Amino acid sequence: MKHYIDFHEDVGIEELDYLLDIAADMKAKTKAGIEHHYLKGKSLAMIFTKSSTRTRVSFEVGMFQLGGQALFLSNNEIQIGRGESIYDTANVLSGMVDGIMIRTFKHSDIEDLARYGSIPVINGLSDDQHPTQMLADLLTIKECKGDLKGLKLAYVGDGNNVANSLLQACAKAGMHISVASPKDYTCPEKYVLQADIDAAVTGSKVVMTEDPYEACKDADVIYTDTWTSMGQEEEKAKRIEIFKDYQVNSELMSAAKKDAIFLHCLPAYRGYEVTEDVIDGPQSRVFQEAENRLHAHKAILVNCFLNS
């Protein structure tokens, strides 16, 4: 079964180029008004236990553009929210739809859906990883820079699910990555080791630091994310104090290359992890990045559905 749950495990180095090519092709077809109903008659169950804008819209519209249909399933409306087991949910949905996309808290719930079901499972986000975002990010960088290999991406802020997946994705793509986070908020060693494994093959470099200026020096891409992820709302005041020196502002951007671009997976909180003049400035590509979620997710859907 072809799943898309863990970028390190589920996306091969050569397969990454294939996925990016599919995404670029379908973006061009969309812009030209050319139908591409590769998934005609297919259906996708979308389970959400976390709120969503970009993930829901991109997968729902993506399935429509591919000729299929998507069903939005909130945990407040289906039995999994009332205690039905993952085992039962996986088996029931396997008999009714062609694939599952889930956006949830526990990463193990996504793995269990794939273990117990008999259809492709796509990780729309978990507390540990955000692999669907990565394909959109790499597509955006490739559009802006022409190639990926040898570029440097600097991530500044919380070592969260986005940072974990960026380590995996950049190493696969042959991009150098530097992650700057406070000591107790850096990425788990597991993801650093995974990145090191692929970096040894692709020739990229992985650097973990507490110094945002060291991370951003000569970077081609500067990336950040919210300091307070979903489920951490009670820690907001504490986190603002801890991360105050990790704000992406014009001074930090000046440490990067002059033609560096700024990315953020959104939603963004202006005045906290990024200043308004950066995210709304000429170097920002956040809305191009957001649009590319649609085309990247269509590539993931086609690859999972047609290769399973």
Residues labelled catalytic:
103, 130, 133, 225, 265, 293
CA separation for the pair 230, 4 (Å, rounded): 22
Tokens coding 287: 């809305």
Q: Kindly calculate the radius of gyration of the chain based on its CA atoms and give it in whole angstroms.
A: 19
**CA–CA dist 165, 153 (Å, integer):** 13
Q: Please choose, from the candidates 246, 226, 225, 245, the residue with its C-alpha nearest in 3D space to the C-alpha of residue 236.
A: 226
Bridge-based pairing of strands 69-74 and 99-103 is unpaired
Collapsing DSSP states into helix, strand and coil, what is residue 19? helix
Residue 121 phi, psi dihedral angles, 5° rounding? -120, 135
Secondary structure class of 109 (helix, strand, coil) = helix
Residue 275, both tokens: 């200043």
The strands making up 221-224's β-sheet, listed across from edge to edge, are: 206-209, 176-180, 152-156, 221-224, 261-264
Asked if residues 179 and 167 have their Cβ atoms less than 8 Å apart, the reply is yes
* Coil/strand/helix, residue 101: strand
Taking residue 61's Cβ as centre, other Cβ atoms within 10 Å add up to 16
The upper half-sphere exposure of residue 11, i.e. CA atoms within 13 Å in the direction of its Cβ, equals 29
